[in-house]
Amino acid sequence: MNIADQTFPAADSANEDRAQAIRDQLRDAIVDRRLAPGTKLSEGEVGTLFDVSRTVARAALQMLTFEGLVRTERNRGAFVANPSPEEARQVFASRRLIEPGIATAAAGRMTADHVAAFKAQLDEEGRFIAERGPNARRSEIKASGDFHLLLASVAGNAILQRFMEELVARSSLVIALYGRSGVSSCGHSEHMNILEALENGNSERASALMLHHIDHIEADLDLRVRSGPALRQALEF
Amino acid sequence: MNIADQTFPAADSANEDRAQAIRDQLRDAIVDRRLAPGTKLSEGEVGTLFDVSRTVARAALQMLTFEGLVRTERNRGAFVANPSPEEARQVFASRRLIEPGIATAAAGRMTADHVAAFKAQLDEEGRFIAERGPNARRSEIKASGDFHLLLASVAGNAILQRFMEELVARSSLVIALYGRSGVSSCGHSEHMNILEALENGNSERASALMLHHIDHIEADLDLRVRSGPALRQALEF
DNA sequence: CTCGCAGAAATCGTATGCAATCTTTTCCGG
DNA sequence: CCGGAAAAGATTGCATACGATTTCTGCGAG
């Protein structure tokens, strides 16, 4: 698997923390499903791939463990998280609680620049939906998440923004695992409606639309336990 | 400073992660203000105190950095966080958004055992308030936080519970830094009112009471910037 | 043929060493 | 006496080494 292919020779901010850079690349890979849930991420392999020692690879994996994207078992190693339906429900319950509030906060802080950023974001999102390549779906999930992250950044609360980063990343995993095929295109129009409410400073409407939007995303999931849950756990698949 | 004094010879679950144990002890020390904001936590010193190598100490500090209790500067080290008034406001804004929802969720899941646990918690809280020792205030802040953590555990959402752990810990820091003296005793009665609403399954009332409670806690803070903020930053105090 | 069990290989947890960076002290010219 | 440069000391970032634990492999007994 070639995760670390695209080396950023110039753009790579040289002196910044290498562990953080590795975490970012791994997170992208996990969220994009280039790394399937359950995949083992051994310290040595990660270190070799990114050309660092196990020490820094380990630090990156520890960060991802905190974010809930990786699960580590003592003396066994780190694995891409494989969220259970229950975990998935909790992720969306958390989002239902937090995101309407974020939308409310953002509605009061929208500037012209923000609107432009959202427009660009939604354009890109639309392009990915139109596209029909093999990884169109991946890009679509990613772009959809980026909309919510952009919103969180506008809301202006760094703590909530970090919470949302975690929730969006975990949502992407959940959607990739439990999502049914193609209803997600309706999410695009919902994003546009939310933006419209934000532009008008209609915080109440933005908040309500956001709540419905999250409900729709979750409703598109199939969270029934497949086969015997005990068996699935035992086999780790 | 003697942080690692109380060694838990028997209770210490032997094979569990040592870094995690160190993190827990450091977190308690920070939240209790046995470690003042701004205090340097050098890897070597922490390692020596807990009798582990720098590797393990470093891992513990990294965890605390994620939780926002510690701030690390590259090539300089780790310091107990010194939240700015703006950060403090964000902490409470986050709590205002999340905790009413947690109260709502908890109201629907209360069992007799939970009620008993809350009663015990509130008793202890009352005892600490009555007490007038030198570290009564510390214990009081801690116990008050524990009430909110207990509530979060009852709500049954592991993700939100973790968010609340972070928010409560950071709140304790903020209260210790910016809190005015003695109004916090009124928090105790508010806790009791919230418990009453929870017992009655009155989720709406519990949620509303919680919101007011958080407002009261924040209202007790003095979040005006002391002296010139730029100067304060420069001096790191 | 399957099962079980040594031994080997792989992987993790932790300690320690070295270079790079930051901080403090020292020392000298003004 | 003061200011500033240079050296000494302390601390971090990272790599590597080694024992401990787990997983894999191969072989023999049933």
Per-residue model confidence as pLDDT tens digits over B168-206:
999 999 998 898 865 566 789 999 999 999 999 999 999
Does B172 lie in the same domain as B64?
A: no
> What is the predicted pLDDT for the residue at B224?
85
pLDDT band at A199 (very low <50, low <70, confident <90, very high): very high
**Domain count for chain B:** 2
Domain boundary among the residues B28, B46, B80 is at: B80
Residue A229 has pLDDT above 50, yes or no: no
Nucleotides of C under 7 A from a protein CB: 11-17, 20-23
Which of these, B81, B44, B78, lies nearest to B174 by C-alpha position?
A: B81
SS3 A179: strand
Q: Specify the amino acid at residue B7.
A: T
Question: CA–CA separation, A51 vs A113, rounded Å?
Answer: 39
Per-residue pLDDT, averaged over B136-143, amounts to 82
Decide if A165 touches B, using CB distance below 8 A.
no
B235 pLDDT above the threshold of 50:
no
pLDDT at A15: 54
User: What is the residue range of A44's domain?
Assistant: 18-80
> Same structural domain for residues B96 and B39?
no
Query: Does the beta carbon of B158 lie under 8 angstroms from any beta carbon of chain A?
Result: yes
B11 lies in some domain? no
Cα–Cα distance measured from residue A124 to residue A132, given in angstroms and rounded to the nearest whole number: 14
Nucleotide nearest to B53 (CA to C1'): C15
Q: With a threshold of 0.80, does the pTM exceed it?
A: yes
Q: Tell which of B57, B80, B103 closes a domain.
A: B80
How does pLDDT run across A120-138, given as a tens digit for each residue? 999 998 888 888 777 777 8
- Region label for B70, one of left (φ > 0), alpha (ψ between -120 and 50) or beta (otherwise): beta
B130 in A contact zone (CB under 8 Å): no
Q: Does B163 touch chain A (CB under 8 A)?
A: yes
- Distance from CA(B63) to C1'(C13), angstroms, rounded: 17
Phi, psi of B148 (to 5 degrees): -70, -35
Give the C-alpha separation, A3 to B125, whole Å: 52
Same domain, A55 and A111: no
Between B56-65, B110-119, B152-161, B183-192, the lowest mean confidence (pLDDT) is in B183-192
Least confident segment among A102-111, A217-226, A228-237, B108-117: A228-237
ipTM value? 0.90
Distance, Å, B54 CA → C18 C1': 15
C-beta separation of B30 from B38 below 8 A: no
* Domain-located, residue A7: no
Lowest mean pLDDT among A72-76, B137-141, B211-215: B137-141
CATH number at residue A142: 1.20.120.530
* Inside any domain, residue B56: yes
pLDDT of residue A151: 98
Percent of chain A at pLDDT > 90 equals 71
Q: Are residues B61 and B177 in the same domain?
A: no
Please tell me whether residues A72 and A92 are part of one structural domain: no
- Give the end of a domain, one of B80, B100, B123: B80
- How does the average pLDDT of chain A come out, rounded? 88
In a shared domain, residues A173 and A109: yes
Q: Shortest CA distance to B221 belongs to which of B172, B167, B180, B168?
A: B180
A157 to chain B nearest CA, in Å? 6
Distance CA A179, CA A133 (A): 18
Whether A45 and A140 share a structural domain: no
Q: Does residue B71 surpass a pLDDT of 80?
A: yes
Q: Which of helix, strand or coil describes residue B223?
A: coil
Whether chain B has a CB inside 8 Å of the CB on A98: the answer is yes
Asked if B159 and A63 come within 8 Å (Cβ–Cβ), the reply is no
Tell me the residue type at A109.
Answer: R
What contacts B125, CB < 8 A, 6 or more positions away? Answer: B140, B143, B144, B146, B147, B188, B191
Mean pLDDT value across residues B40-52: 97
Query: Which is more confident, A93 or B10?
Result: A93
Same domain, B121 and B45: no
* A5 located within any domain: no
B62 contact residues in A (CB cutoff 8 A):
59, 62-63
Chain D bases closer than 7 angstroms to a protein Cβ: 11-17, 21-23
Same domain, B149 and B109: yes
List Cβ neighbours of A34 (8 Å cut-off, separation of 6 or more): A1, A3, A138
Asked if residue A51 belongs to a domain, the reply is: yes
Note whether B27 and B67 are within 8 A (CB): yes
For A98, the closest of B68, B97, B158 (CB atoms) is: B97
The reply to whether A161 falls in a domain is yes
CB within 8 Å: A163 and B163: yes
Mean pLDDT value across residues B62-86: 96
Quickly give B83 CA vs D10 C1' distance in Å: 27
DSSP letters spanning A6-38: S--TTTS-TTS-HHHHHHHHHHHHHHTTSS-TT
A154 and A40 share one domain:
no
Question: Residue A3 and residue A23: Cα distance in Å, rounded?
Answer: 12
Of B15, B62, B159, Cβ closest to residue A91 = B159
Residues A186 and A109 in one domain: yes
Are B106 and B199 within one domain?
Answer: yes
Cβ–Cβ below 8 Å for A66 and B68:
no
A56 at interface of B, judged by CB pairs closer than 8 A: no
When pLDDT is averaged across residues B79-84 and rounded to a whole number, the result is 96
The CA–CA distances, whole Å, from A7 to A50, A136, A215 equal 10, 23, 39
Across the range B39-49, mean pLDDT stands at 97
More confident residue, A138 or A197: A197
- Write the CATH number for B55: 1.10.10.10
For residue A66, name the pLDDT band (cuts at 50, 70, 90).
very high
Per-residue model confidence as pLDDT tens digits over B101-120: 999 999 999 999 999 999 99
- Residue B159 neighbours by CB under 8 Å, 6+ apart: A68, A87, A90, A91, A94, A167, A170
Closest C1' nucleotide to A40's CA: C11
Q: Residue B161 domain-assigned? A: yes
Q: With respect to residue B156, please indicate whether it lies within any of the assigned structural domains.
A: yes
Residues B70, B81: contact at Cβ < 8 Å? Answer: yes
The SS3 of residue B77 is strand
